[in-house]
Amino acid sequence: MQKWRGSGRQKRSLLAADTDIVIEGFPRSANSWSVRVFAHWQRPRRLRIAHHQHSEAQVLAGVARGMPVILLLRDPADAVRSLNELDGTNLDWGLRRWIAFYRAAEQVIDKVVVATFAQATGDFGSVVKRVNERFGTEFAFGPTDDALFARITARMYDTGFPHAAREPRGAGGLPAMDPALLAAAQALYRRLAARAGAGPT
């Protein structure tokens, strides 16, 4: 059983036959930001976006159905520490889940568009452009500028967008992560980030 699952009011976030795109990643990897920016750019069209299940199964199912999939990717130490700050998730348990999620996603890495945290938050338009090129879609996109940032974050819950003011306070304020788990996660991160195309990682 996955720890993070959608609620009843989030039925449209589950993969369905009429899903237009899957946008998925481990928690604290710019999921909310990416989904809201993408939906904003598609207006007035209201597309069905599968998102926020934080489940590798949704990524694999999207690929199996031939749907466009954006795989959001953040440095594992940053993602897990941010999640710990948010809800107290055990760091080593979080690393194990991070590894399980992305090892499964790695099996279909040639069939998804990978977006690092820096790419998703700094130039999500280039990510959508890669989706269009990869899948032959015509999704709208624009610049990721200050005006967009202000518009989108104004509608988000306080915890919806990780930023410097809320990010982990450093190793001195948190228990140490298991070195072997962290090394395995970081090696996996480097492999996947290498598939994210040009731009910051």
Binned at pLDDT 50, 70 and 90, residue 132 comes out as very high
- Does residue 141 lie in a domain region? yes
- What percent of the chain has pLDDT above 90? 76
Kindly report, residue by residue over 154-176, the tens digit of the pLDDT. Answer: 877 554 555 544 444 444 556 78
Distance CA 2, CA 139 (A): 30
Residue 9, pLDDT above cutoff 50: no
The closest alpha carbon to 15, from 46, 56, 61, belongs to 61
- Does residue 201 lie in a domain region? no
Beta strand 21-25 with 113-116 is unpaired
- Does residue 70 lie in a domain region? yes
pLDDT at 155: 76
CA distances from 111 to 59, 67, 174, 189 (A): 10, 9, 37, 17
Give the mean model confidence (pLDDT) for residues 94-109: 98
Binned at pLDDT 50, 70 and 90, residue 153 comes out as confident
The closest alpha carbon to 201, from 114, 129, 134, 96, belongs to 114
More confident residue, 156 or 95: 95
- Does residue 102 lie in a domain region? yes
- Does residue 1 lie in a domain region? no
Distance CA 70, CA 65 (A): 14
Residue position matching structure tokens 């982990």? 168
Residue 99, pLDDT above cutoff 90: yes
Domain around 156: 8-193
Cβ atoms of 56 and 3 within 8 Å: the answer is no
Total domain count, the chain: 1
CATH number at residue 124: 3.40.50
Lowest mean pLDDT among 22-36, 73-87, 94-108, 185-199: 185-199
Q: At what angle do helices 76-87 and 91-106 cross, to 10 degrees?
A: 130
- Does residue 198 lie in a domain region? no
Give the mean model confidence (pLDDT) for residues 68-80: 98
